[in-house]
Structure 1
Amino acid sequence: MRAGKLRHRITIQRPARTQDQNTGEMREGWKDVATVWASVEPLSVREFIAAKSGQAEISARITIRYRAGIDATMRILYRDTVYNIEGVLPDPQSGRHYLTMPVSGGVNDG
């Protein structure tokens, strides 16, 4: 993938437990893993209809340079929108150049 296509800035987050400093209570939340350049492509109407036939409603495809440790428990923030990662697909040639993630829009609270 050419670097020029990676023109959107996204933040990848993972679930995290934090302790409230005032009460000591453990809370579920999200922690930033990385902010990276990506290609964010909304699905075409045909792709969207095909995706709806499955369980998740895939609304976009996000591609980043290869990065170890990305999985479907994480989420992506892009332009004040939360995207749930529905899967992580390595590139078909080497598996180490880029990752493509089908994502669905909506809040992922863990």
Structure 2
Amino acid sequence: MRAGLMDRRISIEHYTSVPDEYGNEVPTWAEMANVWASVQQETGREFIQASAITPERRVVFRIRWMDGITTAHRIIYDSRQHDIHEVRELGRREGIELHTTATGA
């Protein structure tokens, strides 16, 4: 993978729980890695959901190989959360292609 194409920083997060001041487990997201990535915007589409038009923003992130990334993780890029829908291996563990959908506003 060409390093020059990976010019954006993304944060990969995993779901975990941490103890609060009373010892109770509180579910939260924690950063797993902060890596360089190339970002490719896919064409947006709109669909009707519960009588409202909802825009969907699909983004593909390409990063160097990292073991253990699944659809249970999420990406934070440009202050926006991206849910991972598909993880594809590039080459022979040269890189990973993460197909995501941005959530929130």
TM-score (norm 2): 0.82
Structure-1 residue corresponding to 2:5: 5
Identify the match of residue 94 of structure 2 among 83, 87, 97: 97
1:15 aligns with 2:15: yes
**1:43-58 superposed matches below 5 A:** 43-44=42-43, 48-49=44-45
> Which is richer in helix?
1
**Counterpart of 1:27?**
26
Gap regions ≥5 residues in structure 1: none
Q: Which runs of 5+ in 2 are unaligned?
A: 48-55
> What does 1:65-84 correspond to in 2, within 5 Å?
65-84=64-83
Task: Give me the CA root mean square deviation.
Answer: 1.6
**Amino acid of the residue matched to residue 67 of structure 2?**
A
- The alignment-based identity, stated in percent, is 28
1:79 Cα deviation from its structure 2 partner: 1.3
Cα pair distance change 1:103/1:59, threshold 3 Å: same
Instruction: For residue 12 of structure 2, give the secondary structure of its aligned residue in structure 1.
Output: strand
- Residue 80 of structure 1 aligns with an amino acid whose one-letter code is S
CA distance in 2, matches of 1:78, 1:72: 16
Q: Which residue of 1 aligns with 2:39?
A: 40
Secondary structure of the residue that 2:97 maps to in structure 1? strand
Spell out, residue by residue over 1:37-71, the C-alpha distance to the aligned partner (whole angstroms, 9 max, x if none): 00111103xxx45xx7xxxx561101100100111
2:40 aligned partner, one-letter code = E
| One-letter amino acid of the structure 1 residue matched with residue 63 of structure 2 | I
